[in-house]
Amino acid sequence: MHGPHPRSPSSKFLDRSVLVERYGRPRVGTVVFTNGVFDILHRGHATYLSRARSLGDALVVAVNSDASARTLGKGPGRPLNDELDRVLLVAALECVDAVCLFDEPTPAELIDELLPDVLVKGGDYAPENVVGRESVVAAGGRVELIEFVDGYSTTDVIGRIRSLEP
């Protein structure tokens, strides 16, 4: 059986102003927001994003630009994949409705513009440390923490690859 054709990843990659216009307030439905580098896409990312999407009607993902990612101290040569590759891989996931890049160290300004209904971060965060929490809660939204899948991180994947080197 063939359903509707899936949306192309590039059609989900939106300029920030278009993203805010399309998913900002006022809106119909529940918008879920998360962000990250998503350097090497793996099972942990897929599980996390799928769980995030289950919390609302649309999942918006903000991806750190290369310059932004380099400010996070993940190590030399990171990110390994450039921002366009990372955005399009995240956008290729069925559970993701829209993706945009952000250049700042954190997505605080974008969160303030979008005011999602649900702000999602990984379980390694304490709720009070989630960037954008105050503005989302003040607007009637909530913060949800999603536990990571053990053994699945980009750092773990890089370590496994390096262990194969002669």
For residue 129, is it within any domain? yes
Cis peptide before 127 (omega within 30 of 0): no
In angstroms, the CA 53 to CA 139 distance is: 20
Q: Is 32 left (phi over 0), alpha (psi -120 to 50) or beta?
A: beta
pLDDT for residue 131:
95
- H-helix or E-strand containing 66? helix 66-70
For residue 66, is it within any domain? yes
For residue 4, is it within any domain? no
For residue 2, is it within any domain? no
CA dihedral angle for residue 8, residue 112, residue 119, residue 63, rounded to 10 degrees? 40
- Which tokens is 71 given? 């400010």
For residue 1, is it within any domain? no
pLDDT for residue 2:
61
Q: Which amino acid is at 150?
A: D
What residues does 145 pair with on adjacent strands?
121
In angstroms, the CA 38 to CA 80 distance is: 10
For residue 25, is it within any domain? yes
Tens digits of pLDDT across the chain (166 residues): 566 788 899 999 999 999 999 999 999 999 999 999 999 898 889 999 999 999 999 999 999 999 999 888 777 778 899 999 999 999 999 999 999 999 999 999 999 999 999 999 988 888 888 999 999 999 999 999 998 777 777 777 777 777 877 7
pLDDT for residue 3:
62
Domain range enclosing 60 = 9-164
Looking at the structure of the chain, the number of domains it has is: 1
CA dihedral angle for residue 137, residue 113, residue 23, residue 14, rounded to 10 degrees? -140
The CATH code of the domain that includes 148 is 3.40.50.620
- H-helix or E-strand containing 143? strand 142-146
- Which tokens is 123 given? 């379980």
pLDDT for residue 164:
79
